[in-house]
Amino acid sequence: MKPKRDGFAIGGAVVAPATRKTLELPVASLYSHAPMTLPVQVICGKVDGPRLFVSAAVHGDEINGVEIIRRLLRLPLLKKLRGTLLAIPIVNVYGFVNRSRYLPDRRDLNRSFPGSVRGSMAARLADLFLREIVDRSDYGIDLHTGAIHRENLPQLRANLDDAETARIATVFRVPVLLNSDLRDGSLREIAAERGIPMLLYEAGEALRFDEHAIRAGVKGIIAVMRELKMLPASSRQSRQPEPLVARSTSWVRAERSGILRATAALGTRVRKGETVGVIADPFGEQESEVLAGNHGIVIGRTNLPLVNEGEALFHLARFESTRVAEDVVEAFQADELPLGPILDEEPPIV
């Protein structure tokens, strides 16, 4: 006999066990008089279990995660959910409408936590998200991409010194884990303060869809939910190798302004002193090579060839063994990442 459970209370409503409900949490109105709401879908499992939030577009132009959540919510597997899944595909609703990372008050939502009821838009949205989502959850996964014109290799940023966070980070199975410091005012910092293990997934580029990054995100979330016993264990073993924790990361910057021809692709291994691009003036008379300052794997890069001096061009991650890291990244990139019969019917986004 399965234990009975109470419904899940959120935003003044109660979602009954074994049901799914989409709620519109009111945030401050627009000056046009139009109300703005934060849409949340709650799936309340039949049986009690962990409460997990999955959020995207905290930065309004980072849209891979919106598609990841759409695919996640279509999974028939969720009928077997144990616990509660809170899906928030668009957190920064203002930025999403404006195709912007920020809010209309020019604030970065991910630097605005814990926020306040009486603050400007970013502070109010942060406060609402904290009260209604984070404080009702046991775990969190927040989905991001690189900034505009910047692309990231699928990677997780998490506080790996916390054993529970490290456990769920490892099963997510992206090739690179970054044990990054908590930044002031970030969602991750506030979740950590409240003892909620949280992963930040970074993959792809702002305002673009990346099929591989989307599939890796969906698979990673399912794997975490299986690890937390929110979903039944898979009969198939993961073919992905264990992810590697980067020891440190560094940026290769432009030494001069000009037009960049990048020669180091995302996920490739570079050696210290190796040429990773050439910057030229428009006449091609003055050319200078861009050299890697360290060994490492390219985990992020600019896709825009127009660069100003000092700008970050390539993000390099250093590992215990760069050769092993290269193998792990190659295995990941070569994998088709099947999602199972239902979702594989969907044509891939190219």
Q: Does 82 sit near Zn ion (CB under 5 A)?
A: no
Residue with smaller CB distance to Zn ion, 101 or 212: 101
Compute the residue count for the chain. Answer: 350
What is the closest distance, in whole angstroms, from the C-beta atom of residue 206 to Zn ion in the complex?
8
Q: What gap in Å lies between CA 216 and CA 331, rounded to an integer?
A: 13
Determine contact, residues 156/177, Cβ cutoff 8 Å. yes
Q: Which stretch binds Zn ion (CB under 5 A): 51-59, 129-137, 256-264, 270-278?
A: 51-59
Q: Compute the Cα dihedral for 82, 5, 134, 207 and give only its sign.
A: positive
Q: Compute the Cα dihedral for 122, 128, 129, 131 and give only its sign.
A: positive
Q: Does 124 sit near Zn ion (CB under 5 A)?
A: no
Q: What gap in Å lies between CA 73 and CA 303, rounded to an integer?
A: 31
What is the closest distance, in whole angstroms, from the C-beta atom of residue 280 to Zn ion in the complex?
31
Determine contact, residues 263/210, Cβ cutoff 8 Å. no
Backbone angles phi, psi at 106, to 5 degrees: 70, 15
Residue with smaller CB distance to Zn ion, 45 or 146: 146
Q: Which stretch binds Zn ion (CB under 5 A): 4-12, 37-45, 53-61, 160-168?
A: 53-61
What is the closest distance, in whole angstroms, from the C-beta atom of residue 95 to Zn ion in the complex?
10
What is the closest distance, in whole angstroms, from the C-beta atom of residue 251 to Zn ion in the complex?
17
Looking only at residues 136 through 165 of this chain, which bind Zn ion when binding is defined by CB under 5 A? 144
Looking only at residues 169 through 228 of this chain, which bind Zn ion when binding is defined by CB under 5 A? none
Looking only at residues 60 through 79 of this chain, which bind Zn ion when binding is defined by CB under 5 A? 62
Determine contact, residues 292/251, Cβ cutoff 8 Å. no
Looking only at residues 14 through 33 of this chain, which bind Zn ion when binding is defined by CB under 5 A? none
Beta strands (DSSP E) in the chain are 8-10, 13-15, 19-27, 36-44, 47-56, 82-88, 139-144, 150-157, 176-178, 198-205, 244-245, 248-253, 258-262, 269-270, 275-280, 287-291, 296-302, 306-307, 312-318
Determine contact, residues 280/262, Cβ cutoff 8 Å. no
Q: How many residues bind Zn ion (CB under 5 A)?
A: 3
Q: Does 59 sit near Zn ion (CB under 5 A)?
A: yes
What is the closest distance, in whole angstroms, from the C-beta atom of residue 151 to Zn ion in the complex?
13
What is the closest distance, in whole angstroms, from the C-beta atom of residue 300 to Zn ion in the complex?
12
Q: Which residue in the shown chain puts its C-beta closest to Zn ion?
A: 144
What is the closest distance, in whole angstroms, from the C-beta atom of residue 59 to Zn ion in the complex?
4
Residues that bind Zn ion (CB under 5 A): 59, 62, 144
